[in-house]
A and B are shown apart, each in its own frame.
Chain A
């Protein structure tokens, strides 16, 4: 009873990750197809970054991930050794992070960092790697790529650094790109440019893009599919068209109400808001993680929550029926 994606590049089923006494990820299921952008959206503490790190096997030592399956192009990732995963990372599976200043080593030039990836995974020579790096820098819209190769990260602006990160991720022609809040630290005008670039590259290269963000606007404009996370679970998922046309889970609705939209809000009217704070889920927690903040919570919400279908590929995790908003308004 979850969306069926034919021949996915990445397939995650029932991923669970715990940090000590806290459950960070509680049964996340999602799939990303070739040439598709799947957005994982949620606020801080919902577990979206941990999910991404779990896929790439970059969790801190001692933190275990379990899942029904975790597959990349049909290959099982869970059973792979660290060596095998390391071969995939940077090559077929690439990741870019939020803070380009800390993702790029300030002590090395752009060129040497980029070529290192290619030399390592493809056994290429320096010359070949540098040529490829220059080609990719041009691809991501950086002028004078030859000169940039010799520069250090601190000589570039935030937007340029993020473009370099994208270029570096593309060095080995990945099939899957995971982007963890890639534009959150950037100015809004630069954000638009970077997102356009990602979209263009994805179309040209047929990349599968798992985009993690807290910004519902980014989700709406970029993605084909969306999974909304709260307290470690995917509480609503479906195609972007479906979910934004009919947001069903109370959290998703609440989140959309909170966002001021230029031209739509009237000064003086309060913004919708969700009272309370994001909870920390202890081990063995049962029931809906949102119940303490939900205005429609009932005693039943303390038991296992059913996964319901709101039509087509649109699923959500709540005991309320799909048309509860209409019923409530009546």
Chain B
């Protein structure tokens, strides 16, 4: 079966030049990620700062080449596609609605850009398609003549979604699409994304630091930490029975609006994840409340069982 997205052992390094002594840090933003996403599914990727999820998004969109490993979209290698073909397959929705739209172009031109870049349809057809997709996301034709600065955050994010859909892509990569929005608007956008997925049969890669949002929209969830996927499972299973200590800590940190519960002690200690200084052994061990002595020296294996994946020395395979 051809999966919509297949990521095989992808690594991505950055050279960080330190301004002071000319020392170069090698940052392994993505440190060996492998997964496959069937068509029509939603993979939620969660993690905190330094985990590499945004870099992963850009790798999958073809905006960054991997240092090693490959990304396959619909069975074909992404690096082999030319820009137009890739644009037809996979499109992004970014986090910040204030910087994802060119402030100097009107909405109509912004949404029409992917069509114009393809260059194979007459202008009239392109214009029709733009209006059609704008109407679908709830942007009136009168608003199409305005500039992004005149629209609210929620409206801009709708425009970004329209732009992503205009070429009928198979896959949409959503990089924290609601994190910069107010709560009431966030719900509107999430509902829209869910509807569109059902209607158009889209496949989503949904990146977020907000676990509750991910649970709402994803079919499968991958938890990233310092460049690797440390746990992956179908969404209900991950939330009901998390295995990796980091996943448990993440879930415990979510503050639900329940006055009786107080603030949980997540037990993670002071250390913070630094991608320029990845700890030896299990990369989570300095913060892990359940760490054993061997966690500091031994890299945990990838344990796959029953469609779940976990990378922890404490998860003993049955």
Name A's B-contacting residues (CB within 8 A).
43-44, 141-143, 157-160, 187-193, 195-196, 199, 214-222, 240-241, 244, 254-265, 267-268, 270-275, 277-278
A111 CA / B153 CA spacing, docked (Å): 39
A274 CA / B211 CA spacing, docked (Å): 21
Identify which of B182, B254, B258 contacts A188 (C-beta below 8 A).
B254
Chain A residues with CB under 8 A of B253: 188-189, 191-192
**B150 adjacent to chain A (CB < 8 Å):** no
Q: Known: A262-B239, A265-B216. Is A244-B257 also a contact (CB below 8 A)?
A: yes
Chain A residues with CB under 8 A of B216: 260, 265, 267, 271
Taking a contact as CB atoms under 8 Å apart, the answer to whether B49 and A158 are in contact is yes
Taking a contact as CB atoms under 8 Å apart, the answer to whether A192 and B266 are in contact is yes
Chain A residues with CB under 8 A of B121: none
Q: Known: A192-B263, A193-B268, A217-B255. Is A43-B182 also a contact (CB below 8 A)?
A: yes
Taking a contact as CB atoms under 8 Å apart, the answer to whether A217 and B188 are in contact is no
Nearest chain-B residue to A143 (Cβ)?
A: B270
Taking a contact as CB atoms under 8 Å apart, the answer to whether A240 and B184 are in contact is no
Task: Tell me the chain B residues, 249-276 only, with Cβ under 8 Å from chain A.
Answer: 249-259, 261-266, 268, 270, 272, 274
Instruction: Give 23 A-B contacts (CB < 8 Å), ordered by A residue.
Output: A43-B182, A43-B183, A187-B49, A188-B48, A189-B48, A189-B266, A190-B272, A192-B265, A195-B255, A219-B257, A220-B261, A221-B262, A222-B263, A240-B259, A244-B257, A254-B184, A260-B190, A270-B195, A271-B187, A273-B187, A274-B188, A275-B188, A277-B154
Q: Known: A159-B272, A221-B262, A254-B184. Is A270-B194 also a contact (CB below 8 A)?
A: yes
Taking a contact as CB atoms under 8 Å apart, the answer to whether B266 and A193 are in contact is yes
Identify which of A43, A143, A220, A271 contacts B257 (C-beta below 8 A).
A220
A199 CA / B255 CA spacing, docked (Å): 15
Identify which of A43, A255, A262 contacts B212 (C-beta below 8 A).
A262
Nearest chain-B residue to A293 (Cβ)?
A: B184
Chain A residues with CB under 8 A of B188: 273-275
Nearest chain-A residue to B269 (Cβ)?
A: A193
A195 CA / B255 CA spacing, docked (Å): 11
Which of A217, A271, A273 gathers most chain B CB within 10 Å? Answer: A271
**B191 adjacent to chain A (CB < 8 Å):** yes
Chain A residues with CB under 8 A of B183: 43, 214, 216, 255, 258-259
**B36 adjacent to chain A (CB < 8 Å):** no
Nearest chain-A residue to B217 (Cβ)?
A: A267
Task: Tell me the chain B residues, 213-238 only, with Cβ under 8 Å from chain A.
Answer: 213, 215-219, 235-236
**Binary contact readout B176-194 vs A (1 if CB under 8 angstroms, 0 otherwise):** 0000001111111011001
